[in-house]
């Protein structure tokens, strides 16, 4: 029986095979945040000198990449990336995701938007039928904390301020529980439109292109 850590490693290794396919001196790889992404970063170290560099979705991942001697570029200096590799808190069969458990959702969404393909790496426990059991993170401008909370309550959720947490962008996170999100794209658009919401942790309008889900019997790939 593989441990959860071994499963995450398997998913990270599977994503490294995609890097192998696209590697080249001018190729920039988009890199996410989280414990699965950390394993991907450690494996990416062996591509030092074989890729042009990386763009990271958090200060934390940037530091880990730099620690391996990998070049970390500013997204403003990068026009395209063949792949962006990141984990998720939940993913469904449509490759819609909830992300942001680590608080890096805004930068994750921005970096992913510049990549041609989003490759989601996770162990199979992240695969759900309906998104929403994992509280939906929202990055919110601090002065909109209460107005956004009221709006989410009216939508049937229970928002809760993530205590003592400030994002890399200087904002707060509201974690919204009690949602069963049946129309992920519609709900994402609705929440994105609330004044004060910087980013909604739903990645459905632009979901993953490929999911590499580690199981006890190997990688299950969803496209
Ligand atoms: C990030 O890391 C997230 O958006 C998500 O919150 C999380 C998944 O972390 P882990 O791989 O540690 O489960 O990608």
Structure tokens belonging to residue 28: 């920039």
Closest to 186 (Cα-Cα) out of 204, 169, 165, 168: 204
Structure tokens belonging to residue 61: 């991942």
Q: At 18, is the pLDDT very low, low, confident or very high (cuts 50, 70, 90)? A: very high
Shortest-distance Cα residue to atom 6 of ligand 1:
101
Q: Which is the closest atom of ligand 1 to the Cα of 97?
A: 4
Q: What pLDDT score was predicted for residue 98?
A: 98
**What is the arithmetic mean of pLDDT over 184-212?**
98
Parallel/antiparallel/unpaired status of strands 197-200 and 90-91: unpaired
Ligand 1 contacts CB of residue 99 (under 6 A): yes
DSSP-assigned beta bridge partners for residue 173: 139
CA distance 133 to 93: 15
Q: What pLDDT score was predicted for residue 216?
A: 96
Ligand 1 contacts CB of residue 90 (under 6 A): no
Q: At 124, is the pLDDT very low, low, confident or very high (cuts 50, 70, 90)? A: very high
Parallel/antiparallel/unpaired status of strands 81-86 and 97-98: unpaired
pLDDT tens digit sequence for 20-75? 999 999 999 999 999 999 999 999 999 999 999 999 999 999 999 999 999 999 99
Q: Do the beta carbons of residue 5 and residue 13 sit within 8 Å?
A: no
Q: Do the beta carbons of residue 123 and residue 11 sit within 8 Å?
A: yes
Ligand 1 contacts CB of residue 35 (under 6 A): yes
| 147 alpha carbon – ligand 1 mean position (Å) | 27
- Listing from the earlier edge strand, what are the strands of the sheet with 210-215? 53-56, 28-31, 81-86, 115-123, 210-215, 218-222
Q: Do the beta carbons of residue 173 and residue 162 sit within 8 Å?
A: yes
Catalytic residue among 17, 20, 108, 116: 108
pTM: 0.96
Q: Residue for token digits 């949602």?
A: 179
Shortest-distance Cα residue to atom 14 of ligand 1:
87
- Catalytic residue check, 124: no
Q: Do the beta carbons of residue 65 and residue 101 sit within 8 Å?
A: no
Q: What pLDDT score was predicted for residue 5?
A: 96
Instruction: Kindly give, in sequence order, each residue whose CB lies less than 8 Å from that of residue 101, ignoring residues fewer than 6 positions away.
Output: 34, 89, 134, 137
Q: Is the dihedral of CA 174, 180, 184, 188 positive or negative?
A: negative
Parallel/antiparallel/unpaired status of strands 53-56 and 28-31: parallel
Q: What pLDDT score was predicted for residue 77?
A: 98
pLDDT tens digit sequence for 60-92? 999 999 999 999 999 999 999 999 999 999 999
Q: Residue for token digits 């969803």?
A: 222
Q: Give, for ligand 1, the residue of 10, 36, 60, 133 to mutate: max count of ligand atoms closer than 8 Å to Cβ.
A: 36
**What is the arithmetic mean of pLDDT over 96-122?**
97
Q: What pLDDT score was predicted for residue 176?
A: 98
Q: What pLDDT score was predicted for residue 198?
A: 98
**What is the arithmetic mean of pLDDT over 98-120?**
97
pLDDT tens digit sequence for 129-174? 999 999 999 999 999 999 999 999 999 999 999 999 999 999 999 9
């Amino acid at each position: 029986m593989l441990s959860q850590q071994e499963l995450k490693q398997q998913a990270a290794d599977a994503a490294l095979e995609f890097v192998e396919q696209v590697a080249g001196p001018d190729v920039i790889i988009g890199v996410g945040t989280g414990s699965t992404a950390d394993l991907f970063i450690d494996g990416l170290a062996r591509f030092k000198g074989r890729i042009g560099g990386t763009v990271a979705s958090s200060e934390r991942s940037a530091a880990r990449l730099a620690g391996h001697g990998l070049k970390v570029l500013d997204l403003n200096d990068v026009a395209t990336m063949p792949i962006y590799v990141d984990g998720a808190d939940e993913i469904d069969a449509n490759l819609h995701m909830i992300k942001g458990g680590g608080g890096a959702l805004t930068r994750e969404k921005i970096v992913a938007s510049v990549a041609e393909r989003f490759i989601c790496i996770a162990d199979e426990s992240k695969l759900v039928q309906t998104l929403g059991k994992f509280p939906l993170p929202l990055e919110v401008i601090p002065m909109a904390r209460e107005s956004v909370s009221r709006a989410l309550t009216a939508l049937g959720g229970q928002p809760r301020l993530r205590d003592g947490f400030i994002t890399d962008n200087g904002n707060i996170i509201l974690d919204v529980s009690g949602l069963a999100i049946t129309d992920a794209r519609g709900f994402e658009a609705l929440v994105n439109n609330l004044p004060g919401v910087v980013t909604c942790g739903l990645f459905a309008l632009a979901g993953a292109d490929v999911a590499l889900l580690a199981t006890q019997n190997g990688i299950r790939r969803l496209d």
